[in-house]
């Protein structure tokens, strides 16, 4: 794997199947050629597996029950999916997305939805330790709750990363103290997101990943559109500006960080 890595994207998303081949070609023309997926639910895992067959070693599989999926399914359906996840996680490089999303539009202001998310998060934390897979964490408007759960249950030896981190420098330090990496994407490129820019200033490059979260969370250049894989370069350029290093250095270090996390061989 000689090309740079996108640490988090959703190439199995049904919205992008007609344009995916072109997006990959464009990304590869920029030197981007490895794409770690974000898991949503069983149907998504199946589509990821088909992509891996099609694109071979360019796809990193990540299976998990996303907080969105958990919110939209009954507890019994979630428990059945957990059994399936346990039987399939050995096929994947990472476990996720898992975590908490307490935004009202996700929880519908229903406390039982929050409790269900917490329960499934804890189950997946336990599985990650048993199967020795790093975590890909989705944490939105629930940082304090997630930190308490991580402290209670612990992390796998492989640790993991918080995807699309969009918090403060203080919150960044709290996740870093627990051995997690932080991944940033399109929101960093937005001119008004000074809080995240300040957080990136204090995150060591050796603890930082970059991602697109494609097809969501585009930078301003694609606002209102689906976010293509090629925008990873814009994220790298903004990190480079903040850290006062070259864009190539950011891409090199982020790719190396991801390879080490996933225990991928260096070519």
User: Do 251 and 210 contact (CB within 8 A), yes or no?
Assistant: yes
pLDDT, position 266: 64
C-alpha to C-alpha distances, 155 to 122, 131, 166, 170, nearest whole angstrom:
11, 12, 21, 20
Residue 77 pLDDT greater than 70, yes or no: yes
pTM across the whole model: 0.96
Task: Report residue 23's pLDDT band, with 50, 70 and 90 as the boundaries.
Answer: very high
3-state secondary structure string across 88-120: HHHHCCEEEEEEEECCHHHHCCCHHHHHHHHHH
Task: Report residue 267's pLDDT band, with 50, 70 and 90 as the boundaries.
Answer: low
pLDDT, position 265: 77
Please tell us whether the domain made up of 4-262 is placed in CATH 3.20.20.140: yes
Residue 2 pLDDT greater than 50, yes or no: yes
Positive or negative, the CA dihedral 139, 145, 148, 154 is negative
Task: Report residue 1's pLDDT band, with 50, 70 and 90 as the boundaries.
Answer: very low
pLDDT in tens, 25-75: 999 999 999 999 999 999 999 999 999 999 988 999 999 999 999 999 999
pLDDT in tens, 156-212: 999 999 999 999 999 999 999 999 999 999 999 999 999 999 999 999 999 999 999
């Amino acid at each position: 794997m000689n090309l740079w890595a996108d640490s988090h994207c959703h190439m199995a998303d049904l919205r992008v199947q007609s344009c995916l081949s072109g997006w990959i070609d464009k990304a590869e023309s920029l030197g981007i050629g490895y794409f770690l997926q974000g898991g949503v639910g069983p149907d998504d895992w199946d589509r990821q597996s088909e992509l891996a067959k099609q694109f071979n070693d360019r796809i990193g599989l990540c299976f998990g029950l996303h907080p969105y999926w958990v919110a939209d399914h009954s507890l019994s359906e979630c428990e059945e999916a957990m059994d399936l996840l346990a039987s399939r996680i050995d096929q994947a490089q990472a476990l996720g997305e898992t975590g908490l999303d307490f935004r009202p539009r996700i929880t519908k202001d229903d406390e039982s939805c929050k409790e269900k998310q917490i329960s499934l998060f804890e189950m997946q934390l336990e599985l990650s330790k048993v199967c020795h897979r790093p975590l890909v964490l989705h944490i939105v408007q629930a940082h304090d709750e997630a930190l308490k759960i991580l402290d209670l249950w612990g992390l796998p030896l492989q640790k993991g990363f918080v995807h699309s981190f969009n918090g403060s420098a203080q919150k960044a330090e709290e996740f870093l103290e627990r051995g997690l990496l932080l991944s940033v994407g399109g929101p960093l490129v937005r001119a008004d997101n000074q809080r995240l820019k300040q957080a990136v200033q204090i995150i060591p490059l050796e603890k930082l990943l970059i991602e697109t979260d494609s097809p969501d969370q585009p930078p301003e250049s694609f606002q209102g559109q689906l976010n293509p894989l090629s925008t990873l370069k814009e994220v790298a350029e903004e990190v480079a500006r903040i850290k006062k290093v070259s864009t190539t250095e950011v891409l090199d270090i982020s790719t190396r960080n991801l390879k080490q996390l996933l225990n991928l061989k260096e070519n």
